[in-house]
Amino acid sequence: MLSFLLNRLAVLVPVFFGVTLLAFGFIRILPGDPVETLAGERGMSAEQYNIIMTQLGFDKPIWEQYFDYIVGILQGDFGTSVLTNRPVIDEFMELFPATVELGLCAIIFAIVVGLPAGIFAAVKRRTFYDQGIMGVSLIGYSMPIFWWGLLLIILFSNILGMTPVSGRISFFYDVDTVTGFLLIDSLLSDEDGAFWSALHHLVLPSIVLGTIPLAIIARQTRSAMLEVLSEDYVRTARAKGLGPLRIYGLHALRNAMITVVTVIGLQVGVLLAGAILTETIFSWPGIGKWIIFSVFSRDYFAVQGGLVLIAMCVMAVNLVVDLTYGLINPRILHTR
């Protein structure tokens, strides 16, 4: 296990530096000047402009800026926001729980619905149920998040009035921030109805964000199950007269879970990318909305730091997924 873990960590090192290079270069290829954006409509003199450029380090050669950026990250310094003058790591950690809460609810929704749907489609292969589930999953995968979100808002919020349009909780409640996860904080508070209000606000964004992962999980589960169901040991289990629950749940699903776990792990990146649009549509105060605002404001350090921190979260989840393989099938630890 230790050697396997060290090998995976060694692979992540070049990935990490590649991410820092992309994050550093991304914001700089966009048109616009962060110093002029900071000045706003008031403008500034050439002397003031040069002073701010020097203070922010933008007067240095590009390679030296990148070197300082890497050294700062290795020391735990992800920069200071140009707009708020706050450390980027502080702003990220303040908003990150909202994104995690939304992402967890979205992936739970995707797994709870997508996994059984994929299994059922595999068991009912080439039937009406199989074609229907795969057809719906294809539609869900093809639906743009921003369009899907607006459609659900129009239907459930405007027409039916069943769900809130935006925000994390009703303005009638003032819940103290303890963990940053509003569902937990609302349970810890003494305000009646705060938890249900937070849960009510979470339903629609979770469905929107979880739709694409749901479709992918359903299709990949079906594919993995079909491959496993054609194996000899499954036919032997059927010949022995084992019940469907043991055949599909114990023998087939366990061996298909490696593929499914891989797909679920990969959906973390999809969720974080989709959160940018979802949080913007629903005015969800999370990392995605913050990144969008920082891009438009040309806040170099916030964008750089935010992208690197998000990438580090994705790499951490992928590492956990790799280690989970060993729990499902210990032989993998000796083959990698």
Residue 105 has pLDDT above 60, yes or no: yes
Biggest CA–CA distance in the chain, Å, is 86
Residue 39 has pLDDT above 80, yes or no: no
- Bridge partners of 87, per DSSP, are 80
CA distances from 210 to 139, 242, 286 (A): 13, 35, 16
- Bridge partners of 80, per DSSP, are 87
More confident residue, 244 or 283: 283
How do residues 18-36 score in pLDDT, each as one tens digit?
888 888 887 777 776 677 7
**Distance separating alpha carbons of residues 265 and 308, to the nearest angstrom:** 18
Q: How confident is the model at residue 249 (pLDDT cuts 50, 70, 90)?
A: low
Residue 320 has pLDDT above 60, yes or no: yes
How do residues 63-81 score in pLDDT, each as one tens digit?
888 888 888 888 888 888 8
Domain ranges within the chain, ordered by starting residue: 1-83+297-336, 101-294
Q: Classify 101-294 by CATH class.
A: mainly alpha
How do residues 207-234 score in pLDDT, each as one tens digit?
998 888 898 888 888 888 888 777 777 7
Contact indicator for 214, 114 with CB cutoff of 8 Å: yes
SS3 307: helix
Output DSSP code: residue 80. Answer: B
Cα angle, residue 232 at apex, residues 229 and 236 outer, rounded to 5°: 95
**Distance separating alpha carbons of residues 79 and 72, to the nearest angstrom:** 7
Residue 336 has pLDDT above 60, yes or no: no
**Distance separating alpha carbons of residues 175 and 189, to the nearest angstrom:** 6
Which range among 50-59, 70-79, 192-201, 285-294 shows the weakest confidence by mean pLDDT? 50-59
DSSP result, 135-201: HHHHHHHHS-HHHHHHHHIIIIIIIS--S-SSSSS-TT-----SSS-HHHHHHHSS-TTHHHHHHHH
67's CB contacts (< 8 A; 6+ apart) are none
The model's pTM is: 0.80
Helix H or strand E encompassing 15:
helix 2-28
Residue 139 has pLDDT above 70, yes or no: yes
